Amino acid sequence: MYTFVEKRIEKDEAELASWYQKQEEKNIFPTDVILERDIPYMNDGVRTHEMDIYRPKKVTGKFPVIMDFHGGGLITGDRRLNKWFAGEMASRGFIVCSIGYPLVPQRDICGLLRDSYQGVVTAIEMLGEFAGDPDRIYMCGDSAGGFVATYLTAIQNNAKIAKSAGIETKEFQIKALGTISGLFYTGRIDKHGFVILRKYYYGDKFRKNPFWKYVNPENREVMEGLPAIFGVTSKADFLNDNTLKYNKALEKAGKSMKLFYYGDKDELTHDFVIMKPELPETKEVLDNLARFFNENY
């Protein structure tokens, strides 16, 4: 990998470790939520093939289920980052499966999606142990996790996309999709510069990869495979143009995104819903996301 990218990853990982420690010290985890960590979804001993499950302590029937994916540009981060988000959503009456996935370049994006899909399948198979409702399954992700959640949803609903990624789908339905500070374009040439990583994302001969046809999330087949979508971004989010652009593309394709755009506060930076759990705007987003999911079943 490019040396400057490796250095940036090292810097990001150090900053995230420091951030996580500070959050542990200052944020109170919901007392009405049970957290079960490090549950393997592939029996290979790989840490990124594990998930954390958050569930309400009080069982009052079957709970709707969120499959959640962390951000980090697909090259850094882990599911610990989403602890407070997942805990708060569980406190609002959901089972949250925070699914880890291998990062680039250990896996290319197709491999990453295959592993993530297996995480979803395993989580669904386990729902009976956690009072989860297999008829109310939602996908969610922040930043690059929004990319993962979006494509897994499209793959579930389009056999051609699934085949291009090497995924054999199982029988389940995704009722709605939540994206936080997304969407994340992996092949677009723009100011964000992610395009320089495409050979790591898709291989040296990326243009010959069958999945390359679908690498633009504005591909009509990708968009047609999406259910109702929740989106949130802010003026200070450096990827806000991606979310706004994708919202317009969805509207043009006759699809809908319920978009919450915070345009007037500098502290609402990229992925603030995950990275700044103490903000009142974060709590507002969580309430709106819970309401959105509950209205789409």
- pLDDT tens for 135-162 read 999 999 999 999 999 999 999 999 999 9
Residue type, 194: F
Collapsing DSSP to helix, strand or coil, 163 comes out as helix
Collapsing DSSP to helix, strand or coil, 195 comes out as helix
Mean pLDDT of 36-63: 96
13, pLDDT greater than 90: no
Q: How far apart are alpha carbons 117 and 172 in whole angstroms?
A: 12
- Span between the terminal Cα atoms of the chain, in Å: 43
Residue type, 172: F
Mean pLDDT of 18-39: 94
Largest CA distance in the chain: 52
Mean pLDDT of 80-104: 97
89, pLDDT greater than 80: yes
- Per-residue pLDDT band for 129 (boundaries 50, 70, 90) equals very high
- Per-residue pLDDT band for 1 (boundaries 50, 70, 90) equals low
pTM of the model: 0.96
For the chain, list the strands marked E by DSSP.
Answer: 33-40, 50-56, 63-69, 95-99, 132-142, 174-180, 228-234, 257-262
Residue 176 bridge partners (DSSP): 138, 228
32, pLDDT greater than 70: yes
> What secondary structure does DSSP assign to 89-120, as a single string?
HHHTT-EEEEE--PPTTTS-HHHHHHHHHHHH
Q: Which of 41, 59, 50, 43 is nearest to 79 (CA)?
A: 50
- Per-residue pLDDT band for 10 (boundaries 50, 70, 90) equals confident
pLDDT, position 213: 94
Q: HSE-up of 181 (CA within 13 Å, CB side)?
A: 25
Mean pLDDT of 91-106: 96
194, pLDDT greater than 80: no
Mean pLDDT of 233-239: 95
pLDDT, position 221: 97
- Per-residue pLDDT band for 16 (boundaries 50, 70, 90) equals confident
Mean pLDDT of 169-193: 89
| Mode of pairing for the β-strands spanning 228-234 and 257-262 | parallel
Q: How far apart are alpha carbons 67 and 87 in whole angstroms?
A: 13
- Per-residue pLDDT band for 214 (boundaries 50, 70, 90) equals very high
Q: How far is CA 14 from CA 8, 85, 238, 274, in A?
A: 10, 21, 21, 17
Name residue, tokens 């809908």. Answer: 256
DSSP tag of 75:
T
What are the φ and ψ backbone dihedral angles of 2, each rounded to 5 degrees? -55, 140
99, pLDDT greater than 80: yes
Give CA angle at 42 (209, 166), nearest 5°: 20
What are the φ and ψ backbone dihedral angles of 90, each rounded to 5 degrees? -65, -35
173, pLDDT greater than 90: yes
The percent of residues above 70 in pLDDT, for the chain, comes to 98
pLDDT, position 4: 66
Mean pLDDT of 217-233: 97
Q: How many CB atoms lie within 10 A of CB 196?
A: 12
Mean pLDDT of 69-76: 94
What are the φ and ψ backbone dihedral angles of 162, each rounded to 5 degrees? -60, -45
